[in-house]
Amino acid sequence: MYTNITTSQNNAITKIIINRPSKLNALNKETIQELHAAFRVADLDADTKVIIITGSGEKAFVAGADISEFADFSVSEGGKLAAKGQELLFDFVANLSTPVIAAVNGFALGGGLELAMAAHFRIASDTAKMGLPEVSLGVIPGYGGTQRLPQLVGKGRAMEMIMTAGMIDANQALSYGLVNHVTTLDELMPLAEKLAGKIIRNSTVAIGAAIKSVNAAYQDGVNGFNVEVEQFGNCFGTEDFKEGTTAFLEKRKANFPGK
């Protein structure tokens, strides 16, 4: 069904694997379209409670946007490339109500790190290398990197990473708070699944409301506290809330209907 990605669904988890190993999983136009479609399908799938995104092979998560596709672009084509990509993939992923975990299994450069940063949180193998090398190509990060990197690691560290175009290793990314956990490559997917397993036990409706509220902190002209109040109130009208509170009072495990 897809050319550049594979997807699988099991135990309430959809895995999306970027699969262009000969190009280190670089994001060409077709791959971005396919990822958009796969994320959309997974988000709409009632049986998917967590999405895990990773790269195929042992070398790369994603080595960036596909440089061969935009090398001869004009000013307006460049602008459109960034706008379309942000809309189809990066903002799209960040705003999904289904949690997205990025399992960074190797190089996550440029658009690759931007994709990992668009996920709701990240874990990495100890072989991972992360960076935004765009200024070494005479361009800047265009898929949200100038905004999400400072949000995650602080302005000074983001400025240094962007200006030097250098790479940091997994442990430095851990100390920066860019990734939450570092493990061996073999243990990366089991760890992603373990974290997903903890998320799956909880109310999907409440998690969606929490994502919306956290994201509101980063939206211009939006008061995140007001969004939180509204989302908090909405939870009281859900079946999940009734089940969660009833199960607690009855001293049993909640069995959330996800409504």
Residues that bind ligand COA (CB under 6 A): 23-24, 26, 63-68, 107, 109-111, 133-134, 137
Cα gap 50→9, rounded to integer Å? 10
Q: Which of 58, 69, 87, 114 is catalytic?
A: 114
Sheet holding 181-183, edge to edge: 5-10, 13-18, 50-55, 100-104, 121-125, 181-183
Cβ 257 to ligand COA shortest distance, Å: 44
Rounded distance between C-alpha atoms, residue 197 and residue 48, angstroms: 12
Alpha carbon distance 248, 231 (integer Å): 21
CA 64, 69, 73, 76 torsion-angle sign: negative
Catalytic residue among 34, 69, 134, 228: 134
The token pair at 187 is: 């243990």
> Of 71 and 249, which CB lies nearer to ligand COA in the complex structure?
71
Give the nearer residue to ligand COA in terms of CB position, either 21 or 190: 21
Residue 23 has φ and ψ, to the nearest 5°, of -115, 25
* 70 Cβ neighbours under 8 A, 6+ residues apart: 77, 78, 81
Q: Which is nearer to ligand COA, 68 or 223 (CB)?
A: 68
Pairing relationship of beta strands 167-169 and 107-109 according to DSSP bridges? unpaired
Least distance to ligand COA, CB of residue 231, Å: 35
Residue 160 annotated in active site: no
Taking the least distance from each CB to ligand COA, the nearer of 42 and 118 is 118
Nearer to ligand COA, 51 or 63 (CB): 63
DSSP character at residue 27? B
Residue 66 beta carbon to ligand COA: minimum distance, rounded to whole angstroms = 4
**Whole-angstrom distance, CA of residue 254 vs CA of residue 245:** 8
Active site residue 30: no
Q: Which residues are catalytic?
A: 114, 134
